[in-house]
Amino acid sequence: MNKAINVSTEDLRRTDAAHHLHPFTDFAALAKEGSRVITKADGCWLWDSDGNRYLDGMAGLWCIQVGYGRREIADAVHRQMLELPYYNTFFKTTHPPAVALSEKLAELTPAGLDHAFFANSGSEANDTIMRMVRYYWARAGKPDKQVIIGRTYGYHGSTIAASAMGGMTAMHGQAGMIPGVHHVTPPHWFDFGRPMGMSPDEFGVHAARELEKAIDEIGEDKIGAFIAEPIQGSGGVLVPPATYWPEVKRILAERDILFIADEVICGFGRTGEWFGSQYYDLKPDFMTIAKGLSSGYLPISAVMVGERVLEHLVGEGGEFFHGFTYSGHPASCAAALANIDILEREKLVDRVKTVAGPALQKAWAALGDHPLVGEARMVGLFGALELVPDKSDLSKRFAPVGEVGTLCREFSFRNGLVMRATRDAMIISPPLVISEEEIGYLAEKARKSLDQTYEALKAQGKVA
């Protein structure tokens, strides 16, 4: 029996601080403060070790599409564990769950993306893509096409290649940068377009042309690929203006560059379509999928590889020296298949488009009238609220950046709702199964958290 089970919260916190290094954490600060201990979950709800209940407005980490406590997934994994708990997919070997999942993914993803390379995380999948891009161009006789263009505030993972392609400067500053990666302006009108006095539509074209400018300056003969999330998630649910993707599509169509759609957050129904690429009618050469692929029940990711890339990857023969011990892990594949079965059977993607999405969007838009909210945006079932000190003058933002977002996030936790803060934007991305009653709870607790944040800031003289 694990020693950590059935011990007090205080003991758990002490032991956690003594031995556990958490991701993206100030270790010293957390050791002083103590971790929040989550002990169980069901549907859209989490419980902590003190018995407090929270509505999980973040679907874990943007991944629990079908909600917690799905026996079908646990049973499928259990059966698979007894039948074949592990075998590798190296050395000309395969197994039924990997075969079934790759076939299913070929069916679900947009036409032309019919082959899956399995990994265990979004980061590994994106690292895989970087290698595939360079391999592709070397075999296509253009080995100089090495540069990958990403975007500021993009998030593609935490391994060195993935963090370099991402646009989080704090990560680059900690050895997360490698040569051959370039970043352009993201289509985030509120922070980038509005201060320049542009309308969202003008800015959408402008941001797209930043990509065009970068390609022309660096040289098309040096650029291997452009990587982008259809809607940037971790960056703050940055919903591009309507003009952005059509202009990017024009630019890519006129140039010989591969396009990578990172669908780790947008995929599996988040936008109301199976994939963000369908929402924006994009035609990627690679698609990164993870998170919602298994609803986070077990780690698994995949690179969906398009026809054009296959021509060199498969067509000419020769070994691609890349893979992971757990590529296509049988239990993870079984979890993903059971998860996809639930998504299909319960028509959860359609539900985002027709029921849950419209209800949450309406409740979210209503929060736009709050004195702290400068913008409320949402697509499908994920969105953000930009917190501002003075609604009548949106040029002002809080300083230091992130403090007010963190304050609001803490109020939200205390109110029984998990929201995430990105800089000073409050983010929501709940499980696709969220009920209308739970949407009402979410909106009520979000408003209460905004009110409490506003009162606290008023007391400090930080709001108008």
Helix (H) or strand (E) holding 436: helix 436-459
Smallest gap from residue 447 Cβ to ligand PXG (A): 23
Neighbours of 144 (CB within 10 A): 12
Encode 237-272: b = buried (16+ Cβ within 10 Å), e = exposed. bbbbbebbbebbbebbeeeebbbbbbbbbbbbbbbb
Residue placing its CB nearer to ligand PXG in the complex, 153 or 190: 153
Smallest gap from residue 393 Cβ to ligand PXG (A): 29
Q: Looking at 136-179, which runs of residues are DSSP E strands?
A: 147-151
Using a 10 angstrom Cβ sphere, with 0-12 exposed, 13-18 middle and 19 or more buried, the burial of residue 157 is buried
Smallest gap from residue 162 Cβ to ligand PXG (A): 6
First-last CA distance in the chain: 55
Smallest gap from residue 157 Cβ to ligand PXG (A): 3
Residue placing its CB nearer to ligand PXG in the complex, 41 or 61: 61
Using a 10 angstrom Cβ sphere, with 0-12 exposed, 13-18 middle and 19 or more buried, the burial of residue 356 is buried
Residue placing its CB nearer to ligand PXG in the complex, 122 or 167: 122
Residue placing its CB nearer to ligand PXG in the complex, 45 or 382: 382
Smallest gap from residue 184 Cβ to ligand PXG (A): 17
Smallest gap from residue 24 Cβ to ligand PXG (A): 7
Residue nearest to ligand PXG (CB): 122
Q: Which amino acid does the sequence have at 117?
A: F
Residue placing its CB nearer to ligand PXG in the complex, 204 or 276: 276
Residue placing its CB nearer to ligand PXG in the complex, 157 or 224: 157
Neighbours of 32 (CB within 10 A): 9
Residue placing its CB nearer to ligand PXG in the complex, 66 or 171: 171
Smallest gap from residue 122 Cβ to ligand PXG (A): 2
Residue placing its CB nearer to ligand PXG in the complex, 244 or 454: 244
β 382-387/45-48 pair status: unpaired
**Sites of contact with ligand PXG (CB under 6 A):** 61, 121-123, 126, 155-158, 229, 233-234, 262, 264-265, 290, 420
CB 229 within 8 A of CB 255: no
Q: What is the DSSP string of 22-62?
A: PTT--HHHHHHH----EEEEEBTEEEETTS-EEEETTHHHH
Residue placing its CB nearer to ligand PXG in the complex, 420 or 445: 420
CA distance 37 to 197: 45
Smallest gap from residue 168 Cβ to ligand PXG (A): 10
Per-residue tokens: 239: 């919903």
Residue with tokens 């006789």: 141
3-state secondary structure of 227: strand
Smallest gap from residue 319 Cβ to ligand PXG (A): 26
CB 173 within 8 A of CB 206: no
